[in-house]
Amino acid sequence: MAESRTRILHTVEDTEAFGRELAGQLRAGDLVVLDGPLGAGKTALTRGIAAGLGVRGRVSSPTFIIARAHRAGQRPDGSPGVAMVHVDAYRLAGDLDELDALDLDTDLHHAVVVVEWGKGVVEHLAERHLRVQLAREPESDVRTAIWEWIG
């Protein structure tokens, strides 16, 4: 049985550090589903995951593209890194044909796939996934992350 865990993230740096920590348990083939409202910190968390995986290229909030592939580099401890594909499914709005066209199941052979706004849309792509739910209070920098492996 998967157990969910909670973390309070006081600053954006905390969120990035949490992402680096999560990356320690991620391998090629792992799917990460990030959920939470606009500005909750999904991209910030992805930046931390990218740093922990040691991928190349800057993580940004993709405005015109839906998926961005980052090549593998080196993990912070010097061990071989793993590639990452960063998907923003916001504009997919659950369109399964468009999702199919992204060919994420192929990416999952060699990369970690991180999907913002992917809840309820991408879970079928892998046998199990790491779900991270980010919540925020109005007028506050504090975020709460609840995460669990599902499947």
Ligand X SMILES: Nc1ncnc2c1ncn2[C@@H]1O[C@H](COP(=O)(O)OP(=O)(O)OP(=O)(O)O)[C@@H](O)[C@H]1O
- Where do contacts with ligand X occur on this chain (CB under 6 A)? 9-12, 14-15, 36, 38-44, 61, 116, 141, 143
Closer to ligand X by Cβ: residue 104 or 115: 115
Q: Smallest gap, in angstroms, from Cβ of residue 43 to ligand X? A: 3
Contact residue for Mg ion among 61, 149, 150, 151 (CB under 5 A): 61
The residue with tokens 């593998």 is 72
**C-alpha 2, offset from chain centre:** 19
Q: Smallest gap, in angstroms, from Cβ of residue 55 to ligand X? A: 17
143 interacts with, out of Mg ion, ligand X, none, CB within 5 to 8 A per kind = ligand X
38 interacts with, out of ligand X, Mg ion, none, CB within 5 to 8 A per kind = ligand X
Q: Is 15 in the site for Mg ion (CB under 5 A)?
A: no
36 interacts with, out of ligand X, Mg ion, none, CB within 5 to 8 A per kind = ligand X
Q: What residue number has its CB nearest to ligand X?
A: 41
Tokens of 5: 């865990």
Stretch that binds Mg ion, among 77-85, 104-112, 116-124, 138-146 (CB under 5 A): 116-124
Q: How many CB atoms neighbour CB 30 within 10 A?
A: 21
What whole-number distance in Å separates Cα of residue 26 and Cα of residue 32?
A: 9
Q: Smallest gap, in angstroms, from Cβ of residue 88 to ligand X? A: 6
Which residues make up the interface to Mg ion (CB under 5 A)?
42-43, 61, 116
